[in-house]
Amino acid sequence: MKRHRNVKIVATLGPASSTYEVIRALHEAGADVFRLNMSHGEHGEIRERHAIIRQVEKDCGSPIGILADLQGPKLRLGKFANGEETIEVGQDFRLDLSDEDGDATRVQLPHKEIFDALKPGASLLVNDGKIRLKVKECGGDFANCEVVVGGVISNRKGVNVPDVVLPLAALSEKDRKDLEFVCDLGVDWLALSFVQRAADVNEARDLAKGRAAVLAKIEKPAAVEAFDSILEVSDGIMVARGDLGVELPVSSVPPIQKRLIRKCRAAAKPVIVATQMLESMIESPMPTRAEVSDVANAIYEGTDAIMLSAESAAGQFPIEAVRTMDNVANEVENDGNYVEIIEASRKVDHSTVADGIVAAAREIAEKTDVKAICCYSQSGTTALRVARERPRAPIIALTTVETTARRLCLSWGINTVMSDSVDRFKTAVIYAIRAAKAQGLAEEKDLIVVTAGVPFNTPGSTNILRVAPCEERLIHSADAD
C-alpha cells in the first residue's frame, strides 16, 4: 500500500481496536506498524490481534510491521489502610519494606533494590510526579523522606527514581515469558522498557535470538546519559516521552528528542517519537493545535515514525486519530521548508562502499529526473542506509525475506516489496522496474536508480548502481533470456 508520505505511523491496538474491521480501517487510514502493549491483555488476546493483523496484511497485499512492547519492571507502593492519605509539604514520610498497611506517615515500597541504590538527597516521584519526596536518610530497608510536593497518595501508585541507576534488570520474569511468547508468535520488533544501559539491550537480544529486532525505549535519565552505547547495540529507538518527562524537567525533553533523532539517523537506525502526541483525541474527534504542532515538529526533525498509544487503543476515535496523523504528515512533507530542514541536517561520514553507493543514488536522483531509488536488501541494511540519506525520490526496498520487509515498515520513506530471488543484476533491474510501475511511481521510459550487491544474497555487500529506463523491451529481453 503506497503512502504519499515518508514518516511512518505506529498505532497501538487495544479494546477500541481489536476487530478485523477496525484494524483494517486503521491500516487503510495510514497505520504502517501495529503495537501490541504487553502491559495489557492476556496472551490469548495478543495472539488473536496478531492473527488479525496478518490477515489484514494478506488481504491488503502489503507488509505490516508488528511491535510488541514489553512492560518492564513496575515499581509501585504498597497499600494504605484507608486506601489513600493526604500528605503535606514539609512533613516526614517513610518508605520501608514492612508489609503492614500504610498511613499518613509511612507506606511499604516492596523493592529492596531501590533502597540499596538510594542516597540522601535523591528524589522519589510518585504517581507520575504528582507526589515528590526527597530522601533525608536511608538504609537497606527504609528511606526517611521529606515531602517536597504533597497531595493525595494512594494504593499501588507507581514510583520513579530519576537520580540513580537502579540495580534492576530491564526484563522481569513476566517480560521473559512475554518475549518468548511473542517471538514464537512472529512479531517483527520488541520494544524494551526500563533500559538503563547497553547490557539491558544485549540481554533481550540474546533471548530473542534474531527472531525479532530489538528497539530500546529511552524513558530514563540513565538511558539518555548512556545513549550512544545503547544505540550501538539496538536495532531501533523509541523516545518514550511519558516517563522521560516525569524523571527529567519537562523543558529538557524537546532538545533531548531532537538530539536523539539526529543520532539515530546518523546511525541509520529507525526512531519512533511516542507518548501523548494526540492525547485529546482519546475523547475528542479533533486534536488541539498544540498537539498538531507537536506531531509536525517531530516530522520536521526527521523522525522515522510517530506513535499513537491510548488514542488508538482505548480512545473513542482511533481511525480519526490515525487519519489526523496522516494528514499532518502529508502537509508537513509538502512544505518546502521541510525539504530544506531535512537536507540541512544530513551529516553522514560515507566511509564504506555501500555508504558511497547510496549517497550517489540520492545525488543522481536529486540532479536528474529519477522517479525512484530501488534497492535490493536481504537484511535491510542497504535500505536503511538509503533512508538515512532522506532522498527526495521514493525508496523501494526489494527483498526475498518476509521478516525484513515487515521490519522496514518502521523506517522513513521505505516502500517494501517482496521479490523473487535473483542471481544476476540484469534480473534485479527488471524486478525493480516492475516494482516501480506496480507502485505507481514510474511509467514507460521513466528513469529509476537500482542498487544491489554482487554476489547476491550476501548481506552488506552493496557495490553496484545503475540508472535504468522503465522500458518494456528490457523486460521482454529478460523474459526471453
Length of the chain: 481
Q: How open is the CA angle 301-379-33, to the nearest 5 degrees?
A: 50
- Look at the alpha carbons of 67, 72, 74, 75 in this order and tell me if their dihedral is positive or negative: negative
* Residue 254 one-letter amino acid: P
The DSSP output letter for 80 is B
- Find cell 539491550 and name the residue: 201
190 close to 215: Cβ distance less than 8 angstroms: yes
| CA dihedral (379, 382, 385, 389) positive or negative | negative
If you ran DSSP here, which 8-state letter would residue 200 be given? H
- Cα–Cα distance for residue pair 157/289, rounded to 1 Å: 32
CB 433 within 8 A of CB 371: no
428: left (phi over 0), alpha (psi -120 to 50) or beta: alpha
For residue 466, the cross-strand partners are 450
CA distance 292 to 12: 19
- Identify whether the C-beta of residue 73 lies closer than 8 Å to the C-beta of residue 169: yes
First to last CA, the chain: 31
Rounded CA-CA distance 261/388 in Å is: 11
CA pair distance 102, 82, nearest whole angstrom:
8
Using the 8-state DSSP alphabet, how is residue 97 labeled? S
Report CA torsion sign: 166, 237, 128, 120: positive
Question: Which residues have C-beta within 8 Å of that of residue 335, sequence separation ≥ 6?
Answer: none
> Which residues are marked as active site?
35, 76, 217, 275
Contact of 394 with 415, CB cutoff 8 Å? yes
Q: Which residues 6+ apart lie within 8 Å of 49 measured at CB?
A: 13, 18, 23, 34, 36, 41
Spatial distance between the Cα atoms of 65 and 31, rounded to a whole number of angstroms = 10
The label of the residue with cell 504517581 reads 127
Contact 214, 192 (CB under 8 A): yes
Contact residues for 209 (Cβ-Cβ < 8 A; gap 6+): 183
